Chains A and B, each alone.
Chain A
Amino acid sequence: GAVVSQHPSRVICKSGTSVKIECRSLDFQATTMFWYRQFPKQSLMLMATSNEGSKATYEQGVEKDKFLINHASLTLSTLTVTSAHPEDSSFYICRSGGGGTDTQYFGPGTRLTVL
């Protein structure tokens, strides 16, 4: 089946650092990528939706200047956490969209720890 990859799988950084997370669709074109955040023992929280070639749509309460999303091609979407702080430490997961609903695959996730 279709595969979505994420890189890096784990990152530890100092407070104030910006961190870029890449999400790639490996054998299909994902016109849409969804970005989620999940804190320990909490449910998935949709942060934003990125569409290839256009601006991302952010959910209420998510700062678009802090979480920069770029969907430059049909196979790559990136999420940059700017000036990360300890409260940004979380599990970030992307999910593909576009095409049939059966192409809705999650990436393996990126665990971000901000010291």
Chain B
Amino acid sequence: QKEVEQNSGPLSVPEGAIASLNCTYSDRGSQSFFWYRQYSGKSPELIMSIYSNGDKEDGRFTAQLNKASQYVSLLIRDSQPSDSATYLCAVNPEERVIIFGKGTRLHILP
């Protein structure tokens, strides 16, 4: 069974520090990887996608992918209270299928 694993948290990080969110997946053939942010009571919002090994940076966000280790992470630099949310890792193991992790709750401490 294809799975995406995340630590549920909560992960507490001081304001201004780097928040590191991790995700592992089971399907070695997966090609596309996504990070979504979900605020309480709202639907998920796509914030990053990554397709090849290495780092991808977008503003304060950096996604890191290691296909050999089946590991994808999201770094948030200069964490702000507004970054407090649940972050969902998602993996595309085959066409038209996306598997979501259960999410990691991130709490930025002011």
Contact = CB atoms under 8 A, between A and B. Distances in A.
Interface of A: 32, 34, 43-44, 46, 91, 93, 97-98, 101-102, 104-109, 111
Contact of B42 (A34, A101, A109): A109
Contacts of A101: 32, 34, 49, 92, 98
Chain A at the B interface: SS class: mixed
Contacts of A102: 49
Given A101-B92, A108-B42, 10 more contacts: A32-B96, A43-B88, A43-B100, A43-B103, A44-B103, A101-B34, A104-B46, A106-B43, A106-B44, A108-B43
Interface residues of B, number: 18
B45 interface: yes
Nearest to A108: B43
B102 interface: yes
Contacts of A104: 34, 46, 98
Given A43-B102, A43-B103, A44-B88, A105 B96 contact: no
A113 to B, nearest CB: 13
Contacts of B98: 34, 97, 101, 104
A111 B41 CA distance: 9
B96 A97 contact: yes
Contact of B44 (A32, A44, A97, A111): A44
